[in-house]
Amino acid sequence: MRLFKLTLSTIFRRKSWAICALLVLIFPFVLPYLSSSTENPVLFKPALAQAAWSLAWLCAIFWGLFAASTLGEKNARSGTGEYFQSTGISPGRQLVEIWAAVSIFVAPLGLGAALVCILAASPALADERSMWIATNLQYSILFALVVLPLIALACSIASRFGGLTGFILSAGLCSYGLYGVGYMKMLLDLGSNPIAKWLWTVSPHYHLADPTERLRYKLGAIEWGQFPLLLAYFAGILLLYVAISRMIFRTKVSA
């Protein structure tokens, strides 16, 4: 686990993870005061919840995927990957160790957003509070299932095609799954287009892991009978991305 420890130490010393932690844990209490939600106390808690989860997603995309891309590229270009491979650490294991080190800092962002919502934005009624807690915990799990395979994908693409390419492709894929799929659905509602329908079907529906609408309108937790289906869907994407990442990842730059 030498590469894991090296990567973990590198991320920790850069201190950029601390900025993300502050954004998710502290900044949600600031953003509602910059909007009109303070004029109506009823809107303050929904605004706080939306800010917490939005910041968690933004930090995961713009910092987590960027960090994974940077580390994947440096591992291949600096000779670190080639050195560790010469000591018997296979490319697959190197990918896992880099992925694990980045994931330790990124995965808790969803849990941090959930804790902010539970501790500072829970409804007053006991029944609604218990449902609120269950909703946030469900989506912290879905957050991790979405982000973790994208970290591996960003790292592997960057190791072969460069850090900028790895970041743009992985961040673009995540943003499309969160927001672009909704616009694709709107186009399908306007008319029948076989290509658009096929594209919508094969698209990663990451919007299913975004709880902002459900929390804003207090729609409650996902039915426990349906929750395993969502877990299986995102687990399937995870397995696909793991296979692709392993095929793409390399430990040295080709001549």
Residue 37 confidence (pLDDT):
57
Task: Tell me which of 42-51, 67-76, 84-93, 172-181 is least confident.
Answer: 42-51
pLDDT at 19 over 90: yes
Q: What is the pTM of this model?
A: 0.92
Residue 35 confidence (pLDDT):
66
The ranges assigned to domains in the chain are 2-248
Segment of 44-48, 68-72, 220-224 carrying the highest mean pLDDT: 68-72
pLDDT at 246 over 80: yes
Q: Is 28 left (phi over 0), alpha (psi -120 to 50) or beta?
A: alpha
| Position 232, amino acid | A
The share of the chain scoring above pLDDT 70, in percent, equals: 95
Residue 242 confidence (pLDDT):
93
Residues 6+ apart with CB under 8 A from 72: 98, 154, 155, 156, 157, 158, 159, 163, 166, 249
Residue 216 · residue 50 · CB < 8 Å: yes
| Position 120, amino acid | A
Residue 39 confidence (pLDDT):
63
Give the mean pLDDT of 61-86.
93
pLDDT at 2 over 70: yes
Residue 31 confidence (pLDDT):
77
Instruction: Give the chain's mean pLDDT.
Output: 89
Residue 38 confidence (pLDDT):
58
| CA distance linking residue 183 with residue 102, whole number of Å | 31
pLDDT at 255 over 70: no
